[in-house]
Structure formats: structure tokens, C-alpha cells
A and B are shown apart, each in its own frame.
Chain A
């Protein structure tokens, strides 16, 4: 079935540690790819997006993501996590020539001091 998968429901890291959140998609063609962050009780904020071109994408708040076509993945990374990064992270795709976001189930990030 076509889907967006975030295998890690919950991740806990120490402040200052590196972070990688996984995202895989199962569609025939490469979709447009997004990462959003949602703080508790808040809306979604766009972290970064990939449409085409350079497969390493830089976003806000020090985040980056790498598109790997061979693995159908778009993993989010940050070299050093801050306590304020604790939130829910959603990977999402837009299939070519459609007009809706399809979201993964999210990864909840907890940061310990």
C-alpha cells in the first residue's frame, strides 16, 4: 500500500546529542517531501522541503534532511539537539500532480537535560 512511514513513535535524546528521525515513503514516483514540527497545542511549522535538485536540504532551527532515492527515504537530522526541540515531528509528501499532503504518523521527541 502507498504510505508514509515514520518507524519511530517516540525518541528520547540528551540535550547536545545528535538526532536523526526516519521517514520512508512507498510511492512509485518521487513525491515532494516535507518535514513539519508541532509543539504541544500548536499548529504545524514547516522545517524544510525537497522538490528537486540537491538532495541535502537545509532548514530552519539547524535542521537538515537528506533525500535518498534508492532507499525512498527523507531522514531529518540535527547535529546538536536543544531542549526547545522537544515536539512532534511529521514527515509529509505531496504526490506529483496532486494537491494534498499525506502525513506520517509522527515521531515524538523528548529531550533530557
Chain B
């Protein structure tokens, strides 16, 4: 079983729809990251959170530490939101910080 599981793997929606991408993990973590990877391959960090909720523009990220679960929401989705969204968790193992990535969720927003 992967340490980080994302769902769904692929998501297609119409412009304007509310989008939710989920991330579940199996280890105790110090932080969780949401990243965005555009078709060209470059990755941009969207959020880093260890508790509660963060909001940036139309993007909202929440985390429930007890349930080991995080969600990324996009309100009023737009075709330019089409990308792969990656969840990554950071935890301490053998004295070093380790970052483990989910397999990504491919989001396509149709006009």
C-alpha cells in the first residue's frame, strides 16, 4: 500500500464546477504539501499545511490530522486550472525529513 493515496486519479469537469481532490496518508506527518504540475512538467507549490485550512484565491486546502486526510478544493474552476495536482507528505524517519509524493490527480476543465 502506498503511503500517500490520491483520488480520483483523473477528473474531468465543466468550467465553473466546484472541484475536490482527496489525499489520504498512512504515517504521522509534520506537513502536507499540495503541488501543481502543468503539461510542460514544471511544478509549483500551492500550499504547505500542518493543520486546519488555507485559502489562496479560488484554491482551498484542508487537512484533518486525526483522520490522516487532506482535500484540495477549487471553486469556479477554469480551463487554466487543468493540470496534475500532487499531494506530498513530510515526515521524520531515522533522523531525517522525508517527502513522499502521491501519484497525482489529472484535472481537465472543459470550457
A, B from the same assembly: no
Interface, chain A (partner B; CB < 8 A): none
Interface, chain B (partner A; CB < 8 A): none
